[in-house]
Amino acid sequence: MSAKPAPPSEATAFRLPTQWIGVAPFFVFAIMFLILPTLYLVLGAFQGKEGEFTLANILQLFTDPSISDAYWKSIKISFWSAVLGAFGGLAIALAIVRGGLPGWVRSATLTFSGVASNFAGLPLAFAFIATLGRVGIVTVLLRDLLDINIYAMGFNFLTTSGLIAVYLFFQIPLMVVIIVPAIDGIKKEWGEAAATLGATQWQYWRNVVIPVLWPSFLGTVILLFANSFGAIATAYAFAGPVLNIVPIKLYSQINGDVLHNPQLGYAIAFGMIVITGLANVFYIWFRTRSERWLK
């Protein structure tokens, strides 16, 4: 019996890379509004007014007292709002996931957290002024019913502590949204196995739950730090150029007011990119470790 002849090889037809069409808008958006502006800022940070190469702008970040003070103040506000927001959000997340509350409480909390984590800028400033301003509803109720004057006690939105209190409104919900999946990843069988082996509740939390949640917790703290460090709309709505933090300082340098110096503004933006970039690198690293634990 003779073997069948092999079919002639067909010419390979040209195919358009249609699988990339769906993600093409993302890459176009990222290149136009993220990568190219970032490269432009980095290049401008090392240029003088005539376009020549210089390190003077970068050095001024360390030698100008107002700029270095703005960085330290922003770092302090970001650090404390991240830490307080992380612990507050963690407590809420543990309560709605493992606290035995009704299911509707979890759904309502996550829905509110998803909205509140993106509630910033002028609407948030107006909400806080209407609530805790000098004639805000909570301020008036505390003064008239309990004879407590929070402004006589030193509360002020234009201080570091005042701005931290405002930032917690979106930091705590963001922590809830991010940490709930990590808490969901803790398997019930781990607790049962620990109880079978005679471990106490504290031993189970210390040796199982905390080590598993720790990378996710640290990663989220870093993400909250970066989120607060770059926030400008809320702070500017409260104080305008009066408050000396990095985003407002950058806005003042580039916007064209008395401090108009675009090259120095590019250097300030470059410093912000370095800090937030490092924060995101550490966040990705901690998140990778957390996902490895929860698999």
The residue with tokens 């290049």 is 43
* 13 lies in some domain: no
CATH code, domain carrying 96: 1.10.3720.10
* 214 lies in some domain: yes
* 1 lies in some domain: no
Long-range contacts of 140-149 (CB under 8 A, 24+ apart): none
Of 100, 198, 176, which Cα lies nearest the Cα of 207?
198
* 6 lies in some domain: no
Q: List, in order, residues 6 or more apart from 54 with CB less than 8 Å away.
A: 46, 47, 48
| R_g of the chain computed on alpha carbons | 26
* 243 lies in some domain: yes
Task: Work out the end-to-end distance of the chain between its first and last CA atoms, rounded to an integer number of angstroms.
Answer: 56
Q: List, in order, residues 6 or more apart from 200 with CB less than 8 Å away.
A: none
φ/ψ of residue 271, rounded to 5: -60, -40
* Spatial separation of the C-alpha atoms in residues 201 and 192, rounded to whole Å: 11
φ/ψ of residue 275, rounded to 5: -65, -50
* 164 lies in some domain: yes
Count H helices and E strands in the chain, helices first: 14, 0
* Spatial separation of the C-alpha atoms in residues 287 and 206, rounded to whole Å: 20
CB atoms within 10 A of CB 9: 6
* 137 lies in some domain: no
With contact defined as beta carbons under 8 Å apart, do 86 and 93 qualify? no
The residue with tokens 């800090």 is 275
Full domain range(s) for residue 203: 27-121+158-294
* 132 lies in some domain: no
Q: How many domains does the chain have?
A: 1
pTM reported for the whole predicted model? 0.82
Q: From first to last of the 295 residues of the chain, give the pLDDT tens digit.
A: 555 555 555 545 566 677 788 888 889 999 998 899 889 989 989 988 888 888 988 999 999 898 999 999 999 999 999 999 999 999 999 999 988 888 899 999 999 999 888 887 778 888 888 888 888 888 899 988 888 888 888 777 777 888 888 899 899 999 999 999 889 888 888 888 888 888 888 888 888 888 888 888 998 999 999 989 888 778 887 777 777 888 888 887 777 655 567 888 889 989 999 998 898 888 888 878 776 666 6
* Spatial separation of the C-alpha atoms in residues 138 and 141, rounded to whole Å: 5
* Spatial separation of the C-alpha atoms in residues 83 and 37, rounded to whole Å: 31
Question: How many residues can be counted in the chain?
Answer: 295
